Structure 1
Amino acid sequence: MAAVLLQIGFLIWVYATLWFIVSLLTRRNDVADIAWGLGYVVICIYLFQTQVKASIPILVYTLVGVWALRLSTHIFLRNWGKTEDFRYRQWREEWGKTFYWRSYLQVYLLQGFLLWIIALPIVVAGISAAQEWTIATYLGILLWAIGFFFQAVSDYQLTQFVKTRKHKEDVLQTGLWRYSRHPNYFGEIAMWWGIFVIVLPLPYAWMGMIGPLTITLLLVFVSGVPLLEKRYVGNAEYAAYQKRTSVLIPWWPI
């Protein structure tokens, strides 16, 4: 396990450095968002090539690959023809002369480290020779499917809303967004817990739990919900939306 983690750590370092170079060439740091999902694809391919090709690992690689490729494609299409995402543009202005080294450390290497942590359930599956499906396998697939539905559909609904809204500060409050202010984040969290449930019967499963726990904490308390909620401070329509709509877990509006 330790040797595989070290190998993947080195692989991620090379991967993150290459994307940092891409960001310098394109003069935009939001390529890191595209790199995020594709990084998991790279890990899955590496494990598939170097570890036992068993049923459970291949299932995990497939589910993670479907999520990652859809997400990266969505972000690429969303950013195409637009200026750099406001978050990265703000950092570019705030960091000034220290922008390059802080970008490498605080965007690419930090993201690589988080990728390494969150991918732990994939590694747990990858080093296993498990072929037999258990009830945990089916429950995990179900949870992953629910998460994938919420993320894919809510991303599509948001994309269509942005295309047709009359004002930039308008708030999407229909579809899945009627039941959760962040259904896409709920979907991502559910998918990662689904992957963990699949690997639950395997050796080192306790280590695999670190991955979904990390992504949950990040999205709920650090880089997901808080950043977007802060963006709408002072927006009366969003304030009313907050009062009647669940922040994350879908529920009937008040």
Structure 2
Amino acid sequence: MLLDALLLNAAILLAAVLALWAISVRINDVSFIDSFWGAGMAMLAVVSWLQLGPGAGPLTTLIMAMTAALGFRLGIYLLRRWRREGEDQRYARILKKDREAGRFAFAALTKIWLGQAVLLFLVSSPAQVGILASNAGSGPLPPVALAGLALYLLGVFFEWTGDWQLARFKADPANEGKILDTGLWRYTRHPNYFGDCAAWWGIWLCCAGVGWNYALYTLPGPLFLTFTLTKWSGAALLEAGMKKKRGDKYADYIARTSPFIPWPPKRAA
């Protein structure tokens, strides 16, 4: 039953991806895929919850609500950013040669949309499995799930507040060329990425509340997310660009500020 439900989720995700791919071909821009990263995870959580019908217990509903709130908020935030800033230059560089050669549609599907769909399904697996495998009924939430909820709420605070502080900073013309080093950005160079990571580890702990065997099966999800946020397309890629644009200013910020986990800044020598 669990496998059948996951296959249905995969089919729904593929249908959504193909529809969005067709839109991206029509507008000649795939950049809005970033907004689907969060919204797609939320969609899979809601679909998983709906498959249970009346059998959804408190832990099941909690995992769904946690994932939906996290994913839909991120999706709306990134969609608004794309509408405001236009095509993301990362995707423009990836697809430049294919666009010039008239292969944009095929490349957008194979290089961007399908790959992202696989990773999205993997990262959101703790939420999907935690919801679909839950048989907690109406009993109290297990301690590990309460710990997961606490970690999730910490992550949500850092992600949402960090994004809000960054948006306010960018909206002020007086900050042009400056480095945001106040608020949460004083304690970590990436409060939003740290928050997203912590929130998903919290969801994984809630999945462990359903059963540690299910948590073990879905462990690659938060592990991959942690890797991509710290070493691949998240902090590492962003910092490479910031070093080029801000030079010594950003180097000074790096020297005194924790790279990921919040920590008091170092004092100047």
Sort the TM-score into its range (normalised by shorter chain): over 0.9
Instruction: Find the counterpart in structure 1 of residue 180 from structure 2.
Output: 172
Distance 1:197 1:167 in 2: 39
Distance 1:189 1:91 in 2: 26
Which among 146, 153, 166 is matched to residue 145 of structure 1? 153
Instruction: Find the counterpart in structure 1 of residue 44 from structure 2.
Output: 43
Which among 106, 127, 135 is matched to residue 129 of structure 1? 135
4+ residue segments displaced more than 3 Å: 165-169
Counterpart amino acid of residue 220 in structure 1: T
Deviations 1:87-112 (A, max 9, x none): 12222324432432222112111111
Distance 2:125 2:64 in 1: 12
Counterpart amino acid of residue 19 in structure 1: L
Deviations 1:176-212 (A, max 9, x none): 1111111100000000000111121323221122221
Which among 204, 214, 237 is matched to residue 224 of structure 2? 214
Distance 1:244 1:24 in 2: 44
- 1:225 equivalenced with 2:228 (yes/no): no
Which among 65, 84, 104 is matched to residue 109 of structure 2? 104
Deviations 1:109-150 (A, max 9, x none): 111101110111112222222133111121111100000000
Distance 1:173 1:187 in 2: 17
Distance 2:234 2:30 in 1: 17
Distance 2:177 2:28 in 1: 27
Deviation of 1:168 after TM superposition, in Å, equals 4.7
Q: Any conservation in 2 of the 1:57–1:122 contact (CA below 8 Å)?
A: no
TM-score if structure 2 supplies the norm length?
A: 0.89
Deviation of 1:155 after TM superposition, in Å, equals 0.2
Q: Any conservation in 1 of the 2:158–2:195 contact (CA below 8 Å)?
A: yes
TM-score if structure 1 supplies the norm length?
A: 0.94
Distance 1:15 1:162 in 2: 32
Residues 1-150 of structure 1 mapped to structure 2, 5 A cutoff: 1-51=2-52, 52-95=55-98, 96-97=100-101, 98-127=103-132, 128-131=134-137, 132=139, 133-150=141-158
Deviation of 1:36 after TM superposition, in Å, equals 1.3
SS in 2 for 1:233: helix
Distance 1:92 1:165 in 2: 32
Distance 2:150 2:201 in 1: 11
> Which consecutive unaligned segments of at least 5 residues does structure 1 have?
none
Distance 1:48 1:123 in 2: 8
Distance 1:155 1:207 in 2: 31
Label 1:226 to 1:62 Cα distance change in 2 as closer, same or farther (>3 A).
Answer: same
Distance 1:61 1:101 in 2: 34
Q: Any conservation in 2 of the 1:180–1:248 contact (CA below 8 Å)?
A: yes
Deviations 1:10-62 (A, max 9, x none): 22111111111121223221110111111122212211221231211110000
Q: Any conservation in 2 of the 1:19–1:31 contact (CA below 8 Å)?
A: no
Q: Any conservation in 1 of the 2:159–2:195 contact (CA below 8 Å)?
A: yes
Give the length in aligned residue pairs.
Answer: 254
Counterpart amino acid of residue 18 in structure 2: T
Structure 1 stretch displaced more, 223-232 or 205-214: 205-214
Structure 1 stretch displaced more, 115-124 or 75-84: 75-84
Counterpart amino acid of residue 49 in structure 1: L
Instruction: Find the counterpart in structure 2 of residue 252 from structure 1.
Output: 264
Q: Indicate the percent of aligned positions where both proteins have the same amino acid.
A: 29
TM-align CA RMSD: 1.6
Q: Any conservation in 2 of the 1:136–1:197 contact (CA below 8 Å)?
A: yes
Residues 182-201 of structure 1 mapped to structure 2, 5 A cutoff: 182-201=190-209
